[in-house]
Structure 1
Amino acid sequence: MTRFFRLLRSVLFDIHVYASMLVLGVIFAPWAVVSRKGARAACKTYCRWVLWTARWMVGIRTEVRGPVPEGEVIIAAKHQSFLDILIIFNALPSARFIMKRELLWTPVIGVYARRLGCVPVNRGKRGAAIAKMVKDVASQSREPGQLVIYPQGTRVMPGAEKPYKVGTAVLYEGLKQACVPVATNVGVFWPRNGLMRNPGLGVVEFLEPMQPGLKPKAFMKALEETVEGRSAALMREAGFDPGQPALQN
């Protein structure tokens, strides 16, 4: 019976997550259309609302660790679920994301992503996509802020392995900006698949910045070791063995 009520609360929470997105998207639309500041305020409000309701609806508390970056930096983050997007965006002063192009055509998300200056990538054409990504980022260099990229390119279940893609190194070398690795354990509580939301403390941790100047191969090796090592430690702290993929409840 307890499991049934947990599942019911999880389903209601998910419905609320998407309903809130629509409602706030419509409410903020007039301001967002004329001002990027309005679009950012809408997204910050949404993030804070979902993070707050997650506490009492499904028992997920969240915490940000490490110094939050400011200014123009690259954020290379572990991506496990929608939750880490919310925590990262809420924490950073002026974030924009490298995102798959298909999301630009989704209601609300696509409209606000464009207004925030997010950079779409066509994942089906790897070489051309990387070249265009660098060009698009460079063309928006007049907009200071934190550029968030997911080096593995998609959400990855806790315990699962997926290679890091070269696009992060290309950006790091081309922009000549510091790169801040980000670790997380949120997939333990908010899995990428399934409806069950598990109570606990979801953490996003900003790690020591990697300064410009590393060779691409050395940069990627250090980035992967740092993010995967710290994410594994956070998952163990949450009571999950990263040596075994999480079961989707």
Structure 2
Amino acid sequence: MTATLRTLAFRVAFYGLSVPIVLATPISALFGRRAMMAHAHAWARVHRVLTRRLLGIRVRVEGVVPDRPVFYAAKHQAMFETLELQLILHGPAMVLKRELTRIPLWGWAAQRYGAIVADRDASAAALRSMMRDARALTAQGRSILIYPEGTRVAPGERPPLQSGFAGLYRTLGLPVVPVALDAGRVWPRRGAKRPGVVTIRIGDPIPPGLPRAEIAARVHAAINALDI
């Protein structure tokens, strides 16, 4: 089967299965956030199975996942890691652009799951709301996951970190665990997906309390470690 046919088969299967899964989220919501997390992870496992069987994409994880709440900062090259990292990192609460939370039903479900909403305008009120939500989730024992470059980028692109990362780092007081990955090699933004191995490298924790310039430089270097 060619890469184009594989990609078409994946899209039909994944989105076809995603519709009933998302439509069923209000039922899970009746049983609380734990049930919502189990529901979301079931969706992520469907994605994992289909990427392996239909696209021939597998994952190699390097490093150790911490056993306590941390602040994850990850590279973002494809939709692939947004679901895969939820399984690998044991369900961190993810910072999402407000536009995504406006998707009918899915956006509501994401917020029930524990998404932290980030506004592009970065107003003082929006930042305070983001910090408040993040603190509440860490108090529940959840880790936080952010894509600090602010958007999905192609391999080789290394934009600077967005201001929201530094604010959360200062507010949370948690170690930062950088996550490098190379999903964009096999999962381009446009065109057919290619079989291969995606490496996800979980870096060593970086302590809280560092100056803004230092933490930004260390995280930026670490999340781009595979982008060579």
Question: Within 2, Cα distance between the matches of 1:141 and 1:86?
Answer: 20
Instruction: Write out per-residue CA displacement over residues 162-194 of structure 1, whole angstroms, 9 at most, x where no aligned residue.
Output: 111122122111111111000000111112x21
Structure 2 counterpart of 1:231, one-letter code = L
Question: Within 2, Cα distance between the matches of 1:27 and 1:136?
Answer: 25
1:114 matched to 2:91? The reply is no
Q: Residue 25 of structure 2 contacts residue 109 of structure 2 at CA under 8 Å; is this kept in 1? A: no
Aligned counterpart, 1:34: 31
After superposing the two structures, state which structure 1 stretch, 199-208 or 65-74, moved more. 65-74
Instruction: Write out per-residue CA displacement over residues 166-223 of structure 1, whole angstroms, 9 at most, x where no aligned residue.
Output: 22122111111111000000111112x2131011001212110001121111111111
**Distance change >3 Å, CA 17–CA 67, structure 1 → 2:** same
Aligned counterpart, 2:133: 136
Question: Within 2, Cα distance between the matches of 1:150 and 1:118?
Answer: 13
Tell me the TM-score normalised to structure 2 length.
Answer: 0.92
Q: CA deviation at 1:33?
A: 3.2
Q: Out of 87, 91, 101, which is 2:88 matched to?
A: 91
Q: Residue 164 of structure 1 contacts residue 224 of structure 1 at CA under 8 Å; is this kept in 2? A: yes
Aligned counterpart, 1:64: 61
Q: CA deviation at 1:28?
A: 4.9
1:231 matched to 2:216? The reply is no
Instruction: Write out per-residue CA displacement over residues 30-88 of structure 1, whole angstroms, 9 at most, x where no aligned residue.
Output: 12333111111111111111111111211111222211123221000001111111111
Q: Residue 70 of structure 1 contacts residue 93 of structure 1 at CA under 8 Å; is this kept in 2? A: no
SS in 2 for 1:190: coil
Q: Give ranges in structure 2 of 5+ residues lacking alignment.
A: none
Root-mean-square deviation over aligned CA pairs: 1.8
Identical residues among aligned pairs (%): 29
Q: Out of 194, 213, 217, which is 1:217 matched to?
A: 213
**Distance change >3 Å, CA 140–CA 50, structure 1 → 2:** closer
Question: Within 2, Cα distance between the matches of 1:28 and 1:127?
Answer: 32
Q: Out of 165, 177, 186, which is 1:180 matched to?
A: 177
Q: Residue 119 of structure 1 contacts residue 133 of structure 1 at CA under 8 Å; is this kept in 2? A: yes
After superposing the two structures, state which structure 1 stretch, 39-48 or 56-65, moved more. 56-65
Aligned counterpart, 1:235: none
Q: Residue 75 of structure 2 contacts residue 147 of structure 2 at CA under 8 Å; is this kept in 1? A: yes
Corresponding residue pairs, total: 228
Q: Residue 14 of structure 2 contacts residue 50 of structure 2 at CA under 8 Å; is this kept in 1? A: no
SS in 2 for 1:34: coil
Aligned counterpart, 2:102: 105
Tell me the TM-score normalised to structure 1 length.
Answer: 0.85
Question: Within 1, Cα distance between the matches of 2:40 and 2:62?
Answer: 21
Q: Give ranges in structure 1 of 5+ residues lacking alignment.
A: 233-241, 243-249
After superposing the two structures, state which structure 1 stretch, 170-179 or 102-111, moved more. 102-111
Q: Out of 193, 196, 203, which is 1:200 matched to?
A: 196
Q: Residue 69 of structure 2 contacts residue 138 of structure 2 at CA under 8 Å; is this kept in 1? A: no
Structure 2 counterpart of 1:209, one-letter code = P
